Amino acid sequence: MANMSLKKVEMPEQDPDVRNKNFKEVAKGYTEEMAIEEAKRCLNCKARPCVAGCPVNVKIPEFITLMAEGKFEEAYLKIKETNNLPAICGRVCPQETQCERVCVRGKKGEPVAIGRLERFAADWYMARNKPETVDIQKSNKKVAVIGSGPAGLTCAADLAKMGYSVTIFEAFHTPGGVLMYGIPEFRLPKDLVQREIDTVRELGVEIKTNMVVGKSITIDELKEEGYEAIFIGSGAGLPNFMGIPGENLNGVYSANEFLTRINLMKAYLYPEVDTPVKVGKNVAVVGGGNVAMDAARSAKRLGADNVYIVYRRSEAEMPARLEEVHHAKEEGIIFKTLTNPIQILGTDDGWVKGMECIEMELGEPDESGRRRPIPKKGSEHIIDVQTVIIAIGQSPNPLIKATTPGLETHKWGGIIADEETGATSIPGVYAGGDAVTGAATVILAMGAGKKAAVAIDEYLKKKDS
């Protein structure tokens, strides 16, 4: 019997006033009973719009049906058929714009909580620590994957399953890319990311850390070392700044630096670890995306009294997930929308003492389709802050482009790659994820990694025949 409740089964969360002081995960996940109850909301409809709504086409109705029957292990394995990182996707995918957006149940009431169910299946399986037995027919063909973020890990895992000998080259000392340095512990626990990486390793993928492709080794040298195909998933690592006065004052961070210090270097444990991070009494985070929410919520957890999100458009235009905005507000983050920074003010010895902003109003839609913000004359005002975090986006890292002759890129830095295959201007070299699209989502990067794995397989088979 289907559960016809119009609402999703609620997922327990840490109380906002408790969690904004710790870095533990916000959402606690379903119990078995909750998962079964929610799974029963799926009508197992014929049209299955959710599957097409998923960038990696998880067999959603199938896994949910298994779950409704209490077959959690089978449900997990069903997800794994197309998704290598379910514990991660269940947490950070924007389901509301993908699978859940098109769910039939969403026409009247809330859609099925696909993300929460996926997360439950992965956590259930991990908690039982079942080794995944994979029977792989090994070929001796070598493929190199650059970057161990969501795109690279997915591409590597899929290629390994096809039998290729895959080596990932990671610039940092720890693999995981944005999953490790970008997304905070309270949204995506790092031991869980580590477990997902371990499962990729168990497929036979070798991960070489401390290898900056473009510096330690070039794409051409990888080819000389016998890698027959290469996938570039190096992400969008270059932080954008606003170009306003005062951006180099002490106390101004790029969101990248702020979050890397906290997540990768674990500065929230300082002085237990050696890397510090500075958070003033009042903090302004400039930007309206998920990264801005992550930075603001981290600053709050590190003890800031007042944390402001400063965003030049209105809340309706914010690119962040609704859930993240909601969580941020619950935790006491103050939203200053339709507000744009003009300059950051400093003390005589070079520390941030405030940020001058101007109010904005919305005009005609611009090229992005969103209404263009226009400054309101005479509305200049100063916010009292000691820390400013700039979260207005990242551009692809130019290191690979600069050292790979023949690799074509867009003017803004993104690698030009075929949308369906990831093929670049160099035969045998593929690319996907943020390195191609600019900063986007984990799941889109995973989708690109998957498509490229298929294309690389075809390319290598053709090359042989």
Partner 1 sequence: MFKILEKRVLNPDVKLMVIDAPVVAKKAEPGQFIILRVREGGERIPLTIADYDRENGTVTIIFQEVGKTTRLLGTLNEGDYILDFVGPLGIASHFENVKNVAVIGGGLGAAIAYPQAKKLNSMGVKVDAIIGFRNKDLIILEEEMKKASNRLFVTTDDGSNGNKGFVTDVLRKLIEEGNKYDLVIAIGPLVMMKAVSDLTKSYGVKTVVSMNPVMIDGTGMCGGCRVTVGGEIKFACVDGPDFDGHLIDFDEAIRRQAMYKTEERQSLEEHYCRLGGLKNG
| Single residue of 148, 165, 256, 441 touching partner 1 by CB under 8 A | 256
| Single residue of 81, 225, 274, 458 touching partner 1 by CB under 8 A | 274
Shortest CA distance to 64 belongs to which of 6, 114, 138, 12? 114
Long-range CB pairs of 155-158 (<8 Å, 24+ gap) are 155/231, 155/233, 155/430, 155/432, 155/449, 155/450, 155/452, 155/453, 155/456, 156/200, 156/205, 156/231, 156/449, 157/84, 157/199, 157/200, 157/203, 157/205, 158/84, 158/449, 158/450, 158/453, 158/454
The neighbouring-strand residues paired with 219 are: none
E strand segments, 181-251: 206-208, 227-232, 238-239
- Beta carbon nearer to partner 1, 190 or 261: 261
244 binds partner 1 (CB under 8 A): no
3-state secondary structure of 344: strand
Smallest gap from Cβ 458 to partner 1, in A, equals: 32
Residues 34 and 72 sit within 8 Å (Cβ to Cβ): no
- Beta carbon nearer to partner 1, 150 or 239: 239
- Beta carbon nearer to partner 1, 92 or 217: 217
278 binds partner 1 (CB under 8 A): yes
Q: What number of chain residues touch partner 1 (CB under 8 A)?
A: 42
Smallest gap from Cβ 287 to partner 1, in A, equals: 14
| Single residue of 12, 216, 281, 305 touching partner 1 by CB under 8 A | 216
| Single residue of 142, 195, 223, 266 touching partner 1 by CB under 8 A | 266
- Beta carbon nearer to partner 1, 54 or 179: 179
The neighbouring-strand residues paired with 390 are: 254, 286
168 binds partner 1 (CB under 8 A): no
Amino acid, single-letter form, for residue 165: S
Number of Cβ within a 10 Å radius of residue 178: 27
349 binds partner 1 (CB under 8 A): yes
Dihedral sign from CA coordinates of 10, 320, 420, 406:
negative
Shortest CA distance to 147 belongs to which of 181, 118, 172? 172
- Beta carbon nearer to partner 1, 222 or 360: 222
The two structure tokens encoding residue 310: 């400063």
- Beta carbon nearer to partner 1, 139 or 248: 248
Smallest gap from Cβ 394 to partner 1, in A, equals: 8
- Beta carbon nearer to partner 1, 139 or 216: 216
Smallest gap from Cβ 343 to partner 1, in A, equals: 15
- Beta carbon nearer to partner 1, 26 or 259: 259
Interaction with partner 1 in 372-431: which residues (CB under 8 A)? 397-399
- d(CA 416, CA 122) in angstroms, rounded, equals 34
345 binds partner 1 (CB under 8 A): no
Interaction with partner 1 in 179-208: which residues (CB under 8 A)? 181
- Beta carbon nearer to partner 1, 249 or 342: 249
Select the span of 116-124, 126-134, 264-272, 429-437 touching partner 1 (CB under 8 A). Answer: 264-272
| Single residue of 71, 142, 189, 270 touching partner 1 by CB under 8 A | 270
The string over 20-41, giving b where at least 16 C-beta atoms fall within 10 Å of a residue's C-beta and e elsewhere, is beebebbbebbeeebbbbbbbb
- d(CA 116, CA 310) in angstroms, rounded, equals 30
Residues that bind partner 1 (CB under 8 A): 171-173, 181, 209-212, 215-217, 237-239, 241, 243, 247-248, 250-251, 253-254, 256-257, 260-261, 264-266, 270-276, 278, 349-350, 397-399
